[in-house]
Amino acid sequence: MRTRILRDLFLYNLEFAVGGVLLLLIVGFAAASVFSPFPTSDTYVVPPDIPPGVDYLLGTNSRGQDMVWQLSVALRNTLLFGLGVALLSRVVSLAVGLISGYLGGSADRLIMSVNDTFLVIPAFPVLVLFFFIFRGNMSWPMLVLIMAALGWPYDARLIRAVAISLRTREFTLHAVYAGMSTRQILFEEHLPYVLPIVFSTTMNNMIWSIGMEITLAVLGLTDVNAPTIGVTIFWANQHTALTAGVWWWLAVPVAAVVLLFISLFLLSVSMNEYIDPRTRLDRVAAR
């Protein structure tokens, strides 16, 4: 079923095809980081400030690092960061949305009151506060956990809305009469219906979390020794790359993250179109 959905999206949805191919190219480039001939934290392993050319395709920076391998490692860490936040927050949003929508009543009101409390918490000031609390101990996994704890409430509401409609469907009543437990109903009967929403919100959450990490890193509020796109831009600013004429040090990571955001956005938009009944009917009519 899911394989057929992906096939149809690639064949009949241009946005999904372009976004998917673009993301695969980015992931492939990031995966090439395992072949890097230089340790990621080492500096002055190549001549500094060499512009893009035959010897160094993307040039070198003022810290004596080859921008090809530096960008590959940075993209890998940025993708892993965004994926980690998205997956952890999807688990919470799925559990909250499905349980709240299915149970209803006072349990739904209680769970949604907690959800709405998290919904109004401003993420950026909280992350800055955590940085100053932990200072140098703000590690990459800790930042993933904190952002995952802040990134689930809105998506939980979307999943809850679908779960409320599924609760009154005939197949749910049959499952109850057949003696299926609540866990079985949620994961075997309701979960397949919300997976397209989960995919779409995963793309949106990755855009949010990566953008937030870049913002924090550029301000020096993360571990600047762990290469990411944001950390790459941070060091370029620290060495006044534009003033020094090393424009590619900034242009390369900015172009990479723009392409990453475009690919994730196209995948999210195409999935939103797929789960919209009106656009689905339009596609059937067009065939």
Q: What is the per-residue DSSP string for the chain?
A: -HHHHHHHHHHH-HHHHHHHHHHHHHHHHHHGGGG-SS-TT--SSS-SSPPSSSSSTT-B-TTS-BHHHHHHHHHHHHHHHHHHHHHHHHHHHHHHHHHHHHH-HHHHHHHHHHHHHHHTS-HHHHHHHHHHHHGGG--HHHHHHHHHHHSSHHHHHHHHHHHHHHHTSHHHHHHHHTT--HHHIIIIIIHHHHHHHHHHHHHHHHHHHHHHHHHHHHTT-S-TTS--HHHHHHHHHHTTHHHHT-THHHHHHHHHHHHHHHHHHHHHHHHHHHH-HHHHHHHHHH-
Place of tokens 């065939």: 287
Count CB atoms within 10 A of the CB of residue 134: 13
262 or 10: whose pLDDT is higher?
Answer: 262
Q: Which residues contact 22 (CB under 8 A, 6 or more apart)?
A: 259, 262, 263, 266
Judge whether residue 89 has pLDDT over 60. yes
Q: With bands split at pLDDT 50, 70 and 90, how would you rate the model's confidence at 286?
A: low
Q: With bands split at pLDDT 50, 70 and 90, how would you rate the model's confidence at 283?
A: low
pTM metric for this prediction: 0.89
Q: With bands split at pLDDT 50, 70 and 90, how would you rate the model's confidence at 282?
A: low
Judge whether residue 258 has pLDDT over 70. yes
User: d(Cα 6, Cα 20) in Å, to the nearest integer?
Assistant: 10
Q: With bands split at pLDDT 50, 70 and 90, how would you rate the model's confidence at 174?
A: confident
pLDDT of the residue at 159: 92
Nearest Cα neighbor of 25 from 260, 261, 271, 270 is 260
Which residue type does 132 have? F
Average confidence (pLDDT) over 68-87:
94
Paired with 60 in beta bridges are: 66
89 or 136: whose pLDDT is higher?
Answer: 89
Average confidence (pLDDT) over 192-207:
89
Q: With bands split at pLDDT 50, 70 and 90, how would you rate the model's confidence at 92?
A: very high
Count CB atoms within 10 A of the CB of residue 50: 17
pLDDT of the residue at 257: 95
Q: Which residues contact 112 (CB under 8 A, 6 or more apart)?
A: 100, 157, 160
pLDDT in tens, 267-276: 988 887 777 6
pLDDT in tens, 93-146: 999 999 999 988 899 999 999 999 998 888 899 988 888 888 767 778 888 999
pLDDT in tens, 141-162: 888 999 999 999 999 999 999 8
Q: Which residues contact 123 (CB under 8 A, 6 or more apart)?
A: 147, 150, 151, 212
Average confidence (pLDDT) over 208-223:
91
Structural domains of the chain, with CATH: 10-35+52-286 (1.10.3720.10)
pLDDT of the residue at 275: 72
Instruction: Evaluate whether 280 touches 274 at the Cβ level (below 8 Å).
Output: yes
170 or 285: whose pLDDT is higher?
Answer: 170
Average confidence (pLDDT) over 227-247:
92
pLDDT in tens, 9-68: 777 778 888 999 999 999 999 999 999 888 877 888 999 999 999 889 999 999 999 999
User: d(Cα 118, Cα 3) in Å, to the nearest integer?
Assistant: 35
